[in-house]
Chains A and B, each alone.
Chain A
């Protein structure tokens, strides 16, 4: 935002009538393309100097735009657009540190593997993961989920039983609903015991799309 309306006891009121055109004039002194180049340099230097708590990028996919975020340890968050990317980034800043920068390079590996997955050419992910956002019983559920193989499904009840806590069906459901790494950690492969789809943090349409993709491949 240009601060053309700065209130200042010494400001020059006779300039007021020109403020809009001045704003136009002065805005032409930096263009978006020039800033894109500078942003890329900033990403590289910030990464070199180890200054980033979280690097992120977005990718397009058959289930809509996805936000990918990584710490120095690994992929820490995959988010659906319906989760609101700005809100997700604010949560990441609060929990992992505010040095959060759009820096796609750290996410190259994740982006490539997701592309391969959506092309039907990858059935499991092989990425360093940062599990910081998964705690307690939910963390146990998230750690278990990759054992449900590509193209197969389990019920919430079965997952609870596998974890030695067969009555924790609802807890498994809420763990799936708060999975910080959807798709990569396959909570979409968990269905209701009666065969119903169950909920999904990316929306039931996304869940159907992912299951359809895995069955078709």
Chain B
């Protein structure tokens, strides 16, 4: 990853200056390091990290000679100006850089052979290229006991720290958790947390990436590999709908590390990742990973080869009166979704659906210009409607924080307080009142140009009456853009294929489904779980293609183990419509196969002609689905491409308010950042994972006779579950808050199949 900020030498105002005797130009205000880098001259740096914010000038490595200025200047904090004369390689400048490196190395232990950073270490590289070659220091170096666990994920080796402040500044200025600091002075300086406790948060892994030495290293990656032992694969994170670019580091046939990828123009995630993305990959080896294909026939369970399992599934689909139905889960790639559609079509136009949120009512908002994450940076006003980005789309939270530092105004409408609510104008809204609140704020918002509307898919699907209000408001604001906070990983991709979010369930309930195929879908832990549970009793044989064991695989007649996002090729579409390539960093375990291979094998057995590789499957999908027009692996390249046409939307649904039936508190759901999907199965995240609970206000708690820590039974018209109670002053009355997706918690049983509004009654369990 380069450490320099992107500089536009083509457009806009430029100033000319002399760089090592060459006449070059850069936009005014550009820092000298960035301007030099853009013009092909490298000035060594350690503390400079433009993604963090303004330069600090802590390490003094970037000393250069500027004619007319006394002494040497730090190029990271000196902006270019017209006719400036800069020497980066003059004797004076080189002497300065040598001296600084000698001082930096005075206390740096030369334990490179045992240091995980060795081989990809900026200090090593720059010492080699810019350093003096030897040291005059004979004195003892400082010693600390090492390593220290900064958290369960990050090890701190204080001896190696060069006090560049990058991690502290990241914590203070980017993640804004304010946890990290330096204590003591001079040679005794050391990184620590203010509390003395662990450094835990949603973005902690980034400090490992930005540390220019081996002071901060990743514990799951500790001593696993050296840079020359590994292969790196550019892929996309498949754990949330944001779709951050990641690099998979593979050694010994296993993905050992997920790290941020360079984002050249800071359009997407700027190379930052949340810890969910970074540490969810060990789910591939969790004890409940499926590795053996199974066939259950009557009371007997047989372990079979994957070919036999595929053959058995095909027989179940092709037999007389099979009446198949296919459910596609949110992790399925575009290719897998398309193949599933092909199989459905070959099985007599069988019903097929995804486990997502119905799109019809949301079409008016989705039709408006979509925003990239970078659009938030310069936005004067961000209007956030519903949602909980901190837990569901963490990188969006980071980007909104950046926008706020740049002076954006943040207006939030929603019922669930989240990590950003203290930072802007928070209009707490009772569920069902978004339309009214937005209407009230409309006049205030209208006056600003270039507003970015960040809206939550699930919240607005629950409150269709707010959609036209919001869409009208967006239409009235000049240059408004919308950023969807999607609920499902590849929800946008499956929507682009035209997969509806209903159909199979209704048919199953009517007894019209013979063979039910669940492709990377677990309807028993999705909204509407109770209905699915009942419907499964009326269907015939169950074929499950899944990565991990669940209640569903326990009940299945044929279980075919599938690959995870780190193990197959495919295309994922992010929540704001960017199609990106997944590339495998490791092979699926023996006994499992990539989902597309399983589907191709089934299709061939059904005598359906489908392409035999992900790229050709995508090519067919593009010709047959207009929303994918222009998409190809080549076009997607490294950073993906935006889908050019909107997804097919059926007629705009009715935008009448939805009032849930029954009595009790309104239930508002979110996800837990480390609590769902692969993150829930990763042993690396074990210590930061929060258990499931239901949150209510103190007033509701006393009304219901519940106390913090009690166990409450939640009953809705759809089902029930039992959760521990947490009482929070920050949460409003009349609402119960709970997280979906946490394995075993069963909150999904309370919800309707379309993830719509619901009321729950709480009682002591």
A and B bound?
no
